[in-house]
Structure 1
Amino acid sequence: MGRLLIKVLVFLSPLLVFSADNRLTEKVKLHLYLKGVEYLKTANYIGALEIFHFLGNYRDSQTLYRSTERFFSPIPAKVFKSEPTIRVAIARFVDLTLTCPQKAEKVFFKVPPKGAFRKISYKSGFYKKLTLKGKKGCELTINGISYGKLPIDVDIDLVEYLGSAIAVLKLPLEFYLKGVLPSEVYPSWNIEALKAQAVASRTYALFNIYRAREAGKPFDVDSTTNYQAFKIPQRILPQIAEAVDKTRGEVITYRGSLIYAMFHSNSGGCTHSFKEITGLNLPYLSRVEEKCDLKNLKWTTWNKNLSKRRVEQILASLAGRRLRITDMEIKRNSCGRGLDITLLLKDGERITLPLSVYFRLEAKIPSDWFYVIGKSGRYFLLSGRGFGHGLGMSQWGAYCLSQKGWNYKEILRFYYRGTEIEKIY
């Protein structure tokens, strides 16, 4: 595999793309800027902050940064006085069927006879929004895929959003959490780790509910890891019910406000700092060194072959032409996590990009904590630590701490510094 090479870059000037070709620099910045705008549309606010912070004074990056920053402003925990309903976007659909014992309702998304825009087609009419009354036991099928039978009565909103039709389930928040936990962690884990996940997921959901209603969005979260994973529970396991029920209404607060309770699979030994990635200081999302030995846990360490072709495709999407890459250098924080990556090109040019969100997602790398330990003709050989963005609670770290006897409140206060656990309903 060759000798381990650790390359660290230190920049004394604002983060920019370095290139002798000004036209190349401008193209890269422009397409990176457009990616930041795309992130805003898809609610990837951390990715947007990272890019606009990285671009500095380019175009209106600072204006967009400040407007995105407001998403993370404090939300008083007491605004929620009772359990709310959460609106979960579960899928984009072309055809949707709700099959109940008495009848089946079919809905389509298509072009109306005299319309220029696609609309939701139901029976003989076309709609911008439609609500189906789903009864317990009805089976939901979307685009030919069964989502199982509804375990409770559920309203299903069918709405147009950004050119697509989406199906949105309206669920009691505590029931929703019982579909989140088994999708995010292992139900067999220690009950204290499950409780920690329940409180973090509840806090995260409430934060997004408030912001979505404030912005007039037709849904609060979706069912993917863009927010937090969710599946309609066909059977609720006793330990999942216990973790949710025994923490009912409990949230994580910082100075009386809900936190943006981010979590990830495995930190690899050290969590990330929100400020290091985005420039925005959220004290409760500061860097934390694990108190537990994670070495035998899933995703603590990993190896990956990163295709040079994939990296060159990322570059081509930014530069508008193919560029040959020869090497990579990484700027790191003090515990080793990556912040920015510099790609060295065959013609001697260097292009620096934000790593923690943008490049990690584009290159499909498990985390930003990795080293290039070798090169072949077609691949960079990577050795890394952790899985996910590294912000907030490490799920495998929480599991490890629970095995050592920590309770859920101790776990949460460890990962979210300076916080309290409050019961708000």
Structure 2
Amino acid sequence: MYEVSEILFTALEGLIFIVAFVSLSDCRDYILKHYRKVIFFVVFYTIYTYLMSIIFPKGLQTIPIAILTIIILNFMFNSSLVKTLIKYFLYLMAMSLVELFLVVFGVIVLKLPAIFIINNDNAVFICSIIAKLVEAIAALVLYKSNLSINFFIDKESSNSRFRQILILISSVLFLLVCLNIYITSNPDKLLAFNTFSFIVYAVLIIAVVFVFREVSRLELLEFASELEKENIKQLIEFNEMVAKERHEYKNHLNTIYGLCTLNKPDLNEKIKLYINSYANNNDTRNIAIDSGNDYVDAIINVKYNNAIRKGINLIVDFDAPLSSAKIAEDVAVTIISNIIENAFESIVTIDKEKKYISIQTYIDKNNYFISISNNGPMISESDKKKIFNAGFSTKDNSTKKRGFGLSIVLAEIERFGGSITINSNDEVTEFLVSLKVNSQQSISQVAL
């Protein structure tokens, strides 16, 4: 009975201690947030305290228990070793004062000899109950008081987890070596020592695993943070670049609009010459297109002429008109234009006799599809994951002015509730855009 009660008292002591420790450290939410660690500490504290009391003579067990407890708490809270030491000894002092008060009370008030109180099992049992009750109440009052002492609070933890685990392993191994020397002269305590050693080694392995997991998590968070910073920086640069380009385009558009409003002969030719000189389209050819979107027809004519100059065959088949898709006309221009430009960049560098870019549209199961494919180089799986990121480009991008077209495409497609997938192999690369169909009426019209 007394052995069981001693184990229970030790477990209660561990719980009281952790409550008092978090109260002094002003991190009261630690118990609820990390209750598994608290339970683990209480269980482990109970085991090694009980085993130490068996291995060491009475009185001497306090030293190794104190060393082990301080190191474990220092590791758990990643705290300053000095502050952990002071907090532990404050608790130890408070516990000793309670026990001393009970002994003095028994000697003075109850007129019992001190030797009787210390050596009598019943007296020790009663004193332990009262002591633990007083300590539990004191710890609870401290926890609820919201007392905050700045000296005990670790405002910025500067301790490295690797350093912590190194201190923990070194101290425990030193303790085990000392115990081993002591045990050689006490073979009857060998079982308790071996049990204690096994538990300590198991705990050290768990601690090492925990440290490496935490370090890996921190490295991932740091990498994600750096990536986010880089993305934000690229977006800012992109916005600045777009603002400059927009200003230039606006000037040219205003000039063209102004020419349209003048009442002068041969203005059509002048407007064409101005646009051709700006767009570098000196020799233009027209391709008969009926996409259902006049803006797209116009931009494809421009791309068609670019394709001729680059030695690329541009194949166009709008089986389903763009008017059937749920998307704004200007956004359709942005999507098709950017994907074709991306295809131009990839296909122009390869050495093939017949290069082509194909644009097809069709409706399948109430979804409108735009397929833009080319026979350029295959896109790797790793590039597929990054190709829609702002600023990503497989070409030289030291100026950070490339790699924004496809990120704009993705944003516009998703804005209209669509999606885009990439299918790529050695023969062909396809960008497949899926959009919602306008209505059942448009579907039936297409079917007819």
- TM value normalised by structure 2: 0.20
**Greater strand percent: which structure?**
1
Which is higher, the Rg of structure 1 or of structure 2?
A: 2
Higher relative contact order (CA 8 A, sep 6+): 1
TM-score by length of structure 1 reads 0.21
Q: Greater helix percent: which structure?
A: 2
